Amino acid sequence: MRWLDDTAPAHLPGGTVWGAPLPRGTVASPDELRLRRVGGDAVPAQFWSLATWPDGSLKWAGAALGATEQPGDYEIVADGAAPTEPVHRVVVTESADAVVIDNGLLALELDLPRGGDAEPVDTLFRRLRRGAVVVAENAHLVSLLQHEVADDGSTGTRHPFRSRITAVTVEQRGPVRAVVRVEGVHRAVDGGREWLPFTVRLAVIAGSERVRVVHTVIWNGDAATDFVAGLGVRAEVPLRAQPHDRHVRIAGADGGFFAEAVRGLTGLRRDPGAEVRAAQVAGRPTPAVETWSPQVSTRLHLIPAWNDVTLTQLSADGFGIRKRTAPGHAWIDAGAGTRAEGFVSVSDPEGGFGMGVRAFWQSHPGQLDVRGLAGERATVTAWLHSPEAPPMDMRFYHDGLGQDDYASQLDALEITYEDYEPGFGDAHGVARTHEVTLFAYDATPPIEQLALDVAQLQTPPLLQPTPEHLHAVGVFGDWAPVDRSTPLRAEIEDSIDFLLAYYLEQIDQRRWYGFWNYGDVMHAYDLDRHVWRYDVGGYAWDNSELSPDLWLWYSYLRTGRADVFRLAEAMTRHTGEVDVYHLGRWKGLGSRHNVQHWGCSAKQLRISSPVYRRFFHYLTADERVGDLLTELRDSDERFLDTDPTRKVRTDAATYRPDPAALAVGLGTDWGALAATWLADWERTGNERSRDRLLGTMADIAAMPRGFLTGEALYDLETGRFDTTRDRVSVSHLSAVFGLVEVCSELISLVDVPGFAEAWHEYCRLYLASPAEQEQAVGAPLSGIHLEQAHSRLAAWAARHADDDELAQLAWRAFEGMGEWLVHRRDFAAQRIEAPHVLNPVDEVPSVSTNDAAQYGLAAIQNLALIGDRLPRG
């Protein structure tokens, strides 16, 4: 194992959770695994199964390490030793109406929903204790709804909603980690409406004072009348000390803090004493009032107590802090800065509570509220969408422009590249996930401790398998660790690094941030305006088009780079949630690229495919992404109601979805289905998914033209293809949405007779000469484009057949044969300065995201497959 940031953290107060692959056939059960310090003793850890190999042996294990003051370097072993018990064991206790998770340091108490006439449960948890002291109570979700948005910016009536819990499930029970899944909806406080279904997971780690919260909400309203004006997590904080010993801490930017007492004792006209002032500034209990200067102690009631504090982060570039003494009185400005880190705490000498939102400023608009600091209990609210920002406006961005039929919609593709269809630009069913951390303190922490808490909130320490181990185990198909052993290899590696650096910089330069946007990148560039085409139809948000997700993950696998991991992580969080429907008419489908993430009428499996998400799930053991994989299990049913090629199929006049003969493309469609079934089979052992995967592989092998058939007829009940269809149809898009990667992996996993040969034939012929294609199938293939991207198909065929001529064909295509996309020797960034742009930016004229993703994947896979056959000279 290695630490993602290359060195072990100085402290690990929150523990860490990750995933690790095991060689095929070596470990039967996670019970055999132990975590050991390199060169040292075993340490307490918890393991569980994430996936198995086809022979039933453990393929991926989830792992949890508890909090420790001295983290080091670790390895996973299967040595038969007895497990090492944690000092602070996590214990889960269930009763008829409650669940309690206790790790020896804190206890989290949840109420279970009860049916019938019982009072509904509306809290995520009833109580959070640090030792004997209750630091937070009655945590719940809040939201605000308004039914119209005025053009002048004024707000209408806002209706408050509060969480209503429908299910509580214990998913893990310790001894190192416990996880509880809470499901529910937002219910109107002043009525009966329920909407915005959510899932919240609360995870407790042995010896940690933190609770990790993963919150997912699904938007399921009517875009014309439902405008979310606020969405947040709220908890009550009991307060015991005098106001001058109560403290609020809010993280600013670059490690800074707003740190003040509710009733300040510094800066007064009369001095309470240096010891008193020093104690308050440090957050320690102040000396007894009787020891103060009587000029201050007799006038405490005349010093204002600041009851309420708010931080708002309405953009990626600025936050403000203000406070007031009580409702009905003016707010005063208390501070400002650029990018707040999304953390707030309230504490006194007996205990305290903190709440932090990961990627806070990146996911603006956000807000942190503290209310009631001068009373017996305060409330802390982390707003995931600030009520001071404009409400979420989910309406489609134009009126249709007269595109009332397929002909006009296809015509629009020729000018704005937008695939519009009335009613299809609907956000109903898209989701958003946030990570929140709760902190239970035994007193007001030193500011240095809070700084560590905030740093690890935003950049959690993470153990990871080394690139060498990942490669040796043989997961995720064709890739290899970085090799710069020859000048040409080094040149190609430099070009991949150039593209990665460019996109990492573009995210910040172009401010690709926001509640619904963070994690995605733009599709194509406008050189005339020096902007990405954010407002041009299908050229705006990328939505996984041509697999940038895969490019980033394979780049991470081979380099281990932390910056690449975190970019891929953010993209996975976004594309798996916002670009995919999780309920409603398109559940299980994703939306093609558009000005709005849900705007395109092309709702397809190629976007929702697990091929993009499973990297993150297996490398981090993240349960939410596991949900995304599971919910796609029956996505083949979507072909009944949403034909992905309905506007362009040649048999549109006669084709009607038939459950026994659904038209399924053998490229983007089957590639996504195969990734779905593979993930489900290896994660859950689901025999239905296994049989559909292996059965359709056998059917492709049995077709007269194999993958060259292009489209097969699928029987939804049996999960099999009609093998008699004899036709040839090739699309340049078939292999650029994960098909290459999933086929390579399947061939290495299972032996389905004829499948590897069918895939080899497709790979061999795609870039073959017209004469070779005609000899094989009777006519040259049409639809051959993206030659550089498809060079990796020829590379796979060359490796499979040990064919030098195919290898040289692959390298020629990669260097720019035919309609090539980019050339690495053209990679050069140029700086554009004001007044020609809003902000100084770098641009690379030859690069768009399609180009970058497919060039990167071709480079990585060609080097892995035929790097030993690079052209000389």
DSSP-assigned letters across all residues of 746-760: HHHH---TTHHHHHH
Q: Enumerate the CATH 1.50.10.10 domain ranges in the chain, comma separated.
A: 490-869
Tens digits of per-residue pLDDT, 390-435?
Answer: 999 999 999 999 999 999 999 999 999 999 999 999 999 999 999 9
**So what's the pLDDT on residue 818?**
67
Paired with 184 in beta bridges are 165, 198
**Fold designation for 490-869:** Glycosyltransferase (1.50.10)
Tens digits of per-residue pLDDT, 163-197?
Answer: 999 999 999 999 999 999 999 999 999 988 999 99
**So what's the pLDDT on residue 372?**
98
**pLDDT at position 231 over 80:** yes
Average pLDDT over residues 742-757: 98
Contact between 343 and 426 under an 8 Å Cβ cutoff? The reply is no
Nearest-angstrom CA–CA distance, 403 and 388: 36
Paired with 43 in beta bridges are 35
Q: Residue 266 CA to chain centroid, in angstroms?
A: 44
**pLDDT at position 821 over 80:** no
Q: Is residue 826 very low, low, confident or very high in pLDDT (cuts 50, 70, 90)?
A: confident
Tens digits of per-residue pLDDT, 709-740?
Answer: 999 999 999 999 999 999 999 999 999 999 99
**pLDDT at position 819 over 70:** no
Strand duo 159-173 + 332-337: pairing = unpaired
**pLDDT at position 534 over 80:** yes
Nearest-angstrom CA–CA distance, 45 and 24: 22
Q: How many helices (H) and strands (E) in the chain?
A: 19, 37
Q: Which residues contact 840 (CB under 8 A, 6 or more apart)?
A: 509, 831, 832, 833, 834
Average pLDDT over residues 748-761: 98
**So what's the pLDDT on residue 318?**
98
**pLDDT at position 873 over 60:** no
| Phi, then psi, of 499 in degrees rounded to 5 | -65, -40
Higher pLDDT, 2 or 114: 2
**So what's the pLDDT on residue 822?**
80
Contact between 536 and 555 under an 8 Å Cβ cutoff? The reply is no
Among candidates 853, 827, 826, 829, which has minimal Cα distance to 843? 829
Lowest mean pLDDT among 228-242, 455-469, 651-665: 651-665
**So what's the pLDDT on residue 315?**
98
**So what's the pLDDT on residue 167?**
96
Average pLDDT over residues 110-128: 89
**So what's the pLDDT on residue 872?**
77
Nearest-angstrom CA–CA distance, 10 and 69: 7
Burial of 804 by CB count in 10 Å (0-12 exposed, 13-18 middle, 19+ buried)? Answer: exposed
Among candidates 610, 722, 721, 623, which has minimal Cα distance to 672? 610
Residue written as token pair 């996880």 = 179
Strand duo 525-526 + 463-464: pairing = unpaired
**So what's the pLDDT on residue 524?**
97
Average pLDDT over residues 597-626: 98
Strands (E), 558-661: 590-591, 603-604
Average pLDDT over residues 606-629: 98
Contact between 341 and 458 under an 8 Å Cβ cutoff? The reply is yes
Q: Which residues contact 586 (CB under 8 A, 6 or more apart)?
A: 429, 603, 638, 642
**So what's the pLDDT on residue 434?**
98
303, amino acid identity: I
Burial of 447 by CB count in 10 Å (0-12 exposed, 13-18 middle, 19+ buried)? Answer: middle
The CB-based long-range contact list for 724-728 (8 Å cut-off, 24+ gap) reads 728/777, 728/778, 728/779, 728/781
HSE at residue 11, side-chain half, CA atoms within 13 A, is: 13
Burial of 189 by CB count in 10 Å (0-12 exposed, 13-18 middle, 19+ buried)? Answer: exposed
Nearest-angstrom CA–CA distance, 210 and 533: 42
CA angle in degrees (0–180, nearest 5) for 432-434-438: 155
Nearest-angstrom CA–CA distance, 800 and 760: 7
Percent of all residues in the chain with a pLDDT value above 90, rounded to a whole number: 94
Neighbours of 229 (CB within 10 A): 23
Nearest-angstrom CA–CA distance, 586 and 22: 36
Tens digits of per-residue pLDDT, 139-151?
Answer: 999 999 999 998 8
Q: Is residue 686 very low, low, confident or very high in pLDDT (cuts 50, 70, 90)?
A: very high
Q: Residue 520 CA to chain centroid, in angstroms?
A: 10
**pLDDT at position 440 over 80:** yes
Tens digits of per-residue pLDDT, 38-87?
Answer: 999 999 999 999 999 999 999 999 999 999 999 999 999 998 888 999 98
The CB-based long-range contact list for 82-85 (8 Å cut-off, 24+ gap) reads 83/34, 83/42, 83/44, 84/34, 84/41, 84/42, 84/43, 84/44, 84/45, 85/44, 85/175
**Max intra-chain CA distance, the chain:** 103
**pLDDT at position 443 over 60:** yes
DSSP SS3 for 137: strand
Question: Cis ω on the peptide bond leading into residue 467 (within 30° of 0)?
Answer: no
